[in-house]
Amino acid sequence: MKEPNGKNLENFLLQSLLQTVGELGLPYWAKTTIAVSVGVTPLFRVLAPLIGLTVVLNFIARLLGF
């Protein structure tokens, strides 16, 4: 039997989480908050290093008078 790679496992866990949240009977705002959080987290993982690098380079440029 072939073991699932990390991406397939992550997708399975994400689908399982969203299905569980849908079945819990939470208020609509709570479901929306969880869904937005799950959607924004990968974007944040990509953008956070770029934003950090930009802040550091901007700081160095200001120190050097550029």
pLDDT in tens, the chain (66 residues): 455 566 788 788 878 877 887 787 888 898 888 888 888 988 999 999 999 999 999 999 999 998
Cα(56)–Cα(42) distance, integer angstroms = 22
- 3-state class (DSSP) for residue 3: coil
Whether 63 and 54 have beta carbons less than 8 Å apart is answered as no
Cα distance between the two ends of the chain: 59
**If you ran DSSP here, which 8-state letter would residue 24 be given?**
T
What is the predicted pLDDT for the residue at 19?
A: 83
The whole model's pTM is what?
0.51
Whether 46 and 39 have beta carbons less than 8 Å apart is answered as no
Whether 12 and 33 have beta carbons less than 8 Å apart is answered as no
